[in-house]
Amino acid sequence: MPTIKDITSQPPVKDPYRYNGEALPMNAGAEPITGLRRFYIESYGCQMNFSDSEIVASILSEAGFGPTRNMEEADLILVNTCSIREKAEQTVRNRLTAFRHLKRERPGMLIGVLGCMAERLKSKLLEEEKLVDMVVGPDAYRTLPQLVEEAGDGRKAVNVLLSRDETYSDISPVRINSNGVTAFVSIMRGCNNMCAFCVVPFTRGRERSRDAASIVAECRDLFDRGFREVTLLGQNVDSYCHIEEQTGQTITFAHLLAMTAAINPLLRIRFSTSHPKDITDDVLHTMATHVNICRYIHLPLQAGSTRVLQLMNRTYTREWYLAKVRRIREIMPDCGISSDIIAGFCTEAEEDHQDTLDVMRQSRYDFSYMFMYSERPGTLAARRYADDVPHDIKKRRLEEIVTLQNRLSLESNLADVGQTFQVLIEGNSKRSELHWMGRNSQNKVIVFPKSDLPGKAPGDFADVTVTECTQATLMGVAVTPTPA
Ligand code: 5AD
Ligand code: SF4
């Protein structure tokens, strides 16, 4: 097998799978290219991981590797992992065992674990999962080519150094997960919040923001290539803050939103994820004054009882949170709001759980991500509190939360019936090639017949009147815009 040096010293290959300004074809890597080593990458967990995998793809492509979607032909299998709950880690461990036969069939093939599990478990992962050759933390992807070389020489390679300034600012991500219409742009990394249940501050390190100019340039480039929606990504986007080197000006998240929205009115801007404490009036007013900043805020509640919120170190009370929801609706009456909710955190009593249901009802979430509490080693909660809510009670509370959310989602969707929304077409509906699927500004999925507006394509906008709905989807008919 050639080493990296052999590959990089070859003349550049005209490689259709390399970053060439286009989305990679879905069957990228189907045809073997002589002399090119192939990597296959699987991502688990949050959007940030999917975005990071595109950075990894770019780094490896620059080092002379080509992506493949067929793991059977890969020389390098990478798994970008999540540690947020124990189940997420178990999923990755199960997946790793599935690669065992590939390794037997392709001696020399390397397996690397990237992301949060790599950071959390470090070299212990090499002992626990014998088939793993490389363990690479989220701030160490630039060293991947050297690590591959080391591992190729039979030395297991580990780099889990966390950085105070790594933002991968200058890397153009290879859009391996792309539909050609919507893309993620990472704007900050890490989290300083130290919520008691959360492992992220340990696996992703301290907050650092990427310079605004490089973010705007990346968004503009995406727009020029036909993308019509960017999601600004970070563990904690609304604490974005960057001091521009040349001017000394402090760019806040509100400034950044306005700067990206100004690129083109046809480019939609979303963001994820926010901590409620950082959604300032400034951010809300900036959203309200730009129609292309989507009317949608993910506002994780976690728990509805002030006592539990305090134990969680969330820094707000239930009343403060509810006031924030009211403020959002006051400034943007049509804003969609979604949430993250944890059932059964340490010491949670029945009345705390009722408080959570109550805040959900008052907030009228359009959508929620709901979880049972899972103790994570090393977190504040694991060190300080007993995980004392029995599993069957956690499960029952989660079921009640899910049932309530299903009802709220249906009510929210029913209220949209009869209304007309601007939809950005993303592609075919999952169920039928005769229908387009897209999202409105509030992030709701809307499906409508292609025959309503012949000539439309993914990346186009359409005005759609909602005629019916389920709890998960709006269905509608497209209306032809009246000529001006
Ligand atoms: N157990 C359960 N859910 C968790 N989350 C984070 N840590 C845990 C944990 N230990 C949830 C939170 C967070 C989302 C990304 O995952 O709701 O907002
Ligand atoms: Fe975890 Fe809290 Fe940071 Fe979100 S804000 S990543 S829940 S510590």
List per-residue pLDDT tens for the chain, 484 residues long. 332 222 222 222 222 222 222 223 333 333 444 568 999 999 999 999 999 999 999 999 999 999 999 999 999 999 999 999 999 999 999 999 989 999 888 889 999 999 999 999 999 999 999 999 999 999 999 999 999 999 999 999 999 999 999 999 999 999 987 899 999 999 999 999 999 999 999 999 999 999 999 999 999 999 999 999 999 999 999 999 999 888 899 999 999 999 999 999 999 999 999 999 999 999 999 999 999 999 999 999 999 999 999 999 999 999 999 999 999 999 999 999 999 999 999 999 999 999 999 999 999 999 999 999 999 999 999 999 999 999 999 999 999 999 999 999 999 999 999 999 999 999 999 999 999 999 999 999 999 999 999 999 999 999 999 999 999 999 999 998 655 5
pLDDT score recorded for residue 25: 31
Distances (CA, A) of 478 to 348, 398, 467: 47, 38, 10
Claim: this prediction has a pTM higher than 0.85: yes
Q: What is the CA radius of gyration of the chain?
A: 23
CB 78 within 8 A of CB 41: yes
Q: Are 161 and 186 in contact (CB under 8 A)?
A: no
Q: How far apart are CA 20 and CA 5, in angstroms?
A: 23
Per-domain residue ranges for the chain?
37-159, 417-479
Cβ < 6 A, ligand 1 pocket: 84-85, 197-198, 300, 302, 340, 342, 371, 373-374, 376
Q: What is the 381 CA–ligand 2 centroid distance (Å)?
A: 13
Which residue among 191, 277, 278 is best mutated to probe the pocket of ligand 2, counting the most ligand atoms within 8 A of its Cβ? 191
Q: Cα–Cα distance between 212 and 169 in angstroms, integer?
A: 10
Residue 481, pLDDT score:
67
Q: Are 211 and 249 in contact (CB under 8 A)?
A: no
Q: What pLDDT is attached to residue 245?
A: 85
Q: Do domains 37-159 and 417-479 have the same CATH topology?
A: no
Does 37-159 carry CATH code 3.40.50.2300? no
Output the CATH code of domain 417-479: 2.40.50.140
> What is the distance in A from the centroid of ligand 2 to the CA of 131?
32
Q: Is the CB of 236 under 6 A from ligand 2?
A: yes
Q: For ligand 2, what atom is nearest to the CA of residue 201?
A: 8
